Structure 1
Amino acid sequence: MKLEKNRTAFIVTIGAFYSFLLFGFTDNVKGPILPALLEKFSLSYAQGSNILLLLYLGFMVSILGSGFFAGKYGNRNTLILAGLILSGAAAGMSLVQQQIFLYPLYFAIGIAIAAIEIGANGAITDIYHEESGKFLNLLAVFHGAGSMIAPWIVGIILGKGMPWQTVYKWSIFPILLFPLIFISLKLITKGEKITQSQAEKNDKQFFFRRDLILLAVLIFLYVSSEISFSSWFVDYLYKARSFTIKSASIMLTVFWGCVMLGRFGASFIVDKIGYVKSLIAAISLAIVSFGLGMLPGKIFASILPLTGLFFALIFPTATALAAELFPKSKAKVFGFLFFFAGLGGLVGPWVVGYSANWLGIARGFPSLSIFMVGSLVVLIIVKARMHPQREQESKSSKL
């Protein structure tokens, strides 16, 4: 029985990691193919923004629905459904020849990746009760790996003169492997439910607590920054900074490589420095890096991928801070924050796209700095609200 459970845990872990690899790839392949897609269908930046908006609208809808589905039918079935939807969407994207079909297909991709987010996180925390932080960070590394691979593969395909649909055509079989892993399982282990007090269950004002609202705004602003950056970065370098599509795609690969490296390095320092101080330092350095990248010349443009090094720790560290502030309500808190993450992914690229439509990509892309500065302002407010001793106790408890 123990051997069977260990085997199941191993398969689930591999499946969850693989699903996040595909999550990162699928979510970030859109940026590198965007210039080719806009050119193919003669779309404006505003129309391109609307397409990206549909993806994150699907994500937001699915975040709410997938949580309910996973609670009723289990993480295994949630991941199987996500894989089947993603496979169908990839097949559709490989065949699409008319603009109108892009909208439902991107919406379906959004539904699938949100279900992966819910199912994979749930599966990992079900299995690794005592080491959930460690394995969730490893899960995020696989997302970063997929994000890093995406622009590299797209750059090769487009560089050889092949149509952008080829990217999705080649991804169908790898995506199909993902639900097959979970279909092969007979069961998935279930974790113990965190018991909440009756007062917490009846607390109708829970979602109006100031600390939680501030963290939700922070997550919204940060994700707006990151997704806007990854969605429009290739087009910005190509049209405003005289990079080729291939070299611009490589730069996006470097950005995601920096995200991976930053997350790995952050795991050794955030507990010692403290969550809020780490977040303030990270977003401040990201603003400096982005600002230097806006200066004229390719040398300065080459600094932009380093922004990922500082972006890296913001989302997981903010999530860890939320878990620390609301230890008995983590399930509700994470669902709430993930919803705002989806909202940020929806609004950010849309705002930058419309800015590019009005002002041109050279002036529209820098507008994402508004979200970055907003994140810093929110963190300063959070820092001011936190009792200094509370932050010190948080740091000391982890030493």
Structure 2
Amino acid sequence: MAVQPQINTKQKSKTAASRNYALQLATVFVGFLIFGFSENIKGPAIPRMQMDFGLSEMQIGTLLSLNSLGYLIACSFTTFLTRKIGAKAVTLLAFGSMAASGILMYFTHSYPALSGSYFIMYLGNGMLEIALAVLAARIFVGNTGTMMNLAHFFYGLSSTVAPIIASGLMTVSIGGYTLDWRGMYLIMLSLSIIPMIPAILCRFPGEEQHDAARIPLVKLVRDPGIWLIVLILSFGVIAEMAVGGWLVNFLEKAYHWETTSASGMLSAFFLCFTFARLFAGPLTDKIGFTLSLIIFAGFSGVCTLAAIFTGEPGAFLFAAAGIGIAPIYPTVMALIAKKYRSSSDAAIAFIVTMLGIGSVFGNYLIGAIIDWGKKLFADGSESELSLLRGLQAGYSFIGICALLCAVASFFLYGYLKKRNELL
């Protein structure tokens, strides 16, 4: 007679676990969806900010670098904060910071205030990056490559429509007031409140291993493999993120495209990016994470450089590059989850913090290379040709970063193969 209550208890426990897992998935998937919006609405907005405040390309590069610095700072303390107050509280704090930055940006009327608002937004993005990555690493224990790419598919999905939505919102008038980039940021970043709901309702998984089973940070730092992963992710993220900040600017100034057309090409890039993540996951699980990185990063680098060398007729290759660069980040996260299973949070925090440093210098270098190229080809005054050559030089750096990502992946492949740890 005591069997029935025991069965009911097990069923209730199973149902509760399934419901909690669904809420965890909602937090991860919707979180990445909002993350994609916050990162990629800046493409159409940056030329408008530049015009409003009279900023040079170097100042734009500096702005993006300061943002990356905020991201880096957030990554450096998020693991410590997670252990103190929990991943759930950190996730809610991240979403709240992003929403708050949208309010601050709405009231921005100077370059320093704009930089400060962006800095806060990237603090939130940095915390969210670590929190979502740690949560995903803990709950995706089977078909890791597929699930990681699926989670990041939602980032690509929102990134695809973000430039179009941003361009549309900036022209909307309410009561005779045009939203422009300030109102657009207010509306889009306020969406961060949505994923806070499943995050509040679910229980986040705790540590999978006892502290005694954790790999000490000192031992992690001495592992050559983790430094190769840092290089792969740094070059890959620079190549990925720089497109959102520079492609629209490049097409408008180099080829005189209208903002709508340039934003459409950015959306095409993210469309390729999105579907690559949707379909690449099973492939990475089948052929291996490291080999996948070599193939995809190499393809992206070749497409980007070919787009520049072939001129305006080859502009579609900018979009095609998204196919190669899309699987890099989730595949590396899957590799980390497998290789450093007992200490995934520490490994993720360390690697993401290191790549944050690369992102700071990456955006700054692109702006500096553009200015350098303009001066190099200037004939006493800034001509259209000098601007074109400067933009081509700066954007070529993005393609070179993708190729360097492939080279670093090749070295990681050899290192892991020698140790019989190939993933």
The TM-score, its normalising length taken from structure 1, stands at: 0.89
Q: Which residue of 2 aligns with 1:379?
A: 409
Equivalent residue number for residue 224 of structure 1 = 238
The match for 2:370 is 356
Q: After TM superposition, list the pairs within 5 Å mapping 1:138-153 onto structure 2.
A: 138-153=150-165
- Further displaced range: 153-162 or 20-29: 153-162
Q: What residue is the counterpart of 1:168 in the other structure? A: 185
Counterparts of 1:14-93 in structure 2, within 5 Å, are 14-93=26-105
Contact 1:295 1:301 in 2 (8 A): no
Q: How does 1:98-247 map to 2 (within 5 A)?
A: 98-127=110-139, 129-130=141-142, 134-158=146-170, 163-183=180-200, 185=201, 188-195=203-210, 200-201=215-216, 204-247=218-261
Q: For the residues of structure 1 that align with 2:123 and 2:302, how far apart are their CA atoms? A: 35
Aligned equivalents of 1:126 and 1:283: distance in 2? 26
* Structure 1 gap segments, 5+ residues each: 395-399
Q: Using a 3 Å threshold, how does the CA distance of structure 1 residues 93 and 346 change in structure 2: closer, same or farther? A: same
Question: Structure 1 residues 100, 387: closer, same or farther in 2, change over 3 A?
Answer: closer
Give the letter aligned to residue 193 of structure 1: E
CA distance change for structure 1 residues 131 and 73 in 2, over 3 Å: closer, same or farther?
Answer: farther
Q: Report the 3-state secondary structure (helix = DSSP H, G, I; strand = E; otherwise coil) of the residue aligned with 1:268.
A: helix
For residues 283 and 329 of structure 1, the distance between their equivalents in structure 2, rounded to whole angstroms, comes to 27
CA distance 1:389–1:81, change in 2 (3 Å): closer
CA distance in 2, matches of 1:127, 1:369: 34
Inter-CA distance 204–76: structure 2 relative to 1 (3 Å threshold): closer
- The alignment partner of 2:195 has SS state of helix
Please report how far the alpha carbon of residue 159 of structure 1 lies from its aligned counterpart in structure 2 after TM superposition.
5.6
Larger radius of gyration: 2
Alpha-carbon deviations, 1:132-175, whole Å to 9, x = none? 65543332111111211211112223466752112113225422
Change beyond 3 A, Cα 1:155–1:364: same
Q: TM-score of the superposition, structure 2-length normalised?
A: 0.84
Cα distance change on mapping 1:320 and 1:176 into 2, 3 Å: closer
Counterpart CA distance in 1 for 2:340 and 2:140 is 20
Match of 1:335 among 349, 358, 368: 349
CA shift for structure 1 position 95: 2.0
Q: CA deviation at 1:131?
A: 6.2
Corresponding position of 2:398: 368
CA deviation after TM superposition for structure 1 residue 342, in Å = 2.0
Moved more, 260-269 or 122-131: 122-131
Change (3 A) 1:300 1:133: closer
Displacement after TM superposition at 1:5 (Å): 4.3
Cα root mean square deviation, aligned: 2.5
Deviation at 1:90, TM superposition (A): 0.4
Overall identity of the aligned pairs, in %: 24
Cα 1:229/1:189, change in 2 over 3 Å: closer
TM-aligned CA distance change 1:314 to 1:122, over 3 Å: closer
What amino acid maps onto 2:122 in structure 1? G
Q: CA contact under 8 A between 1:159 and 1:245: conserved in structure 2?
A: no
Asked if residue 300 in structure 1 is aligned to residue 300 in structure 2, the reply is no
2: CA distance, partners of 1:135 / 1:33: 32
Q: In structure 1, what is the Cα distance between the partners aligned to 2:238 and 2:93?
A: 27
Say whether the 8 Å CA contact 1:241–1:301 is kept in structure 2: no
Tell me the residue number matched to 1:397: none
1:8-64 alpha-carbon deviations (Å, 9 max, x no partner): 433333233222111111011122211111111000111111111121111111112
Instruction: Indicate if the aligned counterparts of 1:80 and 1:179 stay in contact, CA closer than 8 A.
Output: yes
Extract unaligned runs of 5+ from structure 2: 1-11, 173-177, 374-389
What are the residue-to-residue correspondences of 1:2-13 with 2, within 5 Å? 2=13, 3-13=15-25
8 Å CA contact 2:88, 2:199 repeated in 1: yes
Q: Which amino acid aligns with 1:80?
A: L
- AA paired with 1:275? F
Of residues 283-292 and 2-11 in structure 1, the stretch that sits farther from structure 2 once superposed is 2-11
The alignment partner of 1:78 has SS state of helix
Q: Which amino acid aligns with 1:176?
A: I
Question: Which moves more between the two structures, 60-69 or 368-377?
Answer: 368-377
Q: Distance in 1 between matches of 2:234 and 2:399?
A: 14
The farther-off stretch of 339-348 and 41-50 is: 339-348
TM-superposed deviation, 1:127:
4.8
Compared CA separation, residues 194 and 69, structure 1 to 2 (3 A): same
| Structure 2 counterpart SS, 1:215 | helix
Q: Which amino acid counterpart does residue 203 of structure 2 have in structure 1?
A: I
Q: Which secondary structure does the structure 2 equivalent of 1:193 belong to?
A: coil
Q: Is the 8 A contact 2:294 2:407 kept in 1?
A: no
Q: How many pairs are equivalent?
A: 390
Indicate how the Cα distance of structure 1 residues 108 and 317 shifts in structure 2: closer, same or farther if over 3 A, else same: same
Query: Structure 2 CA distance, aligned partners of 1:147 and 1:375?
Result: 22
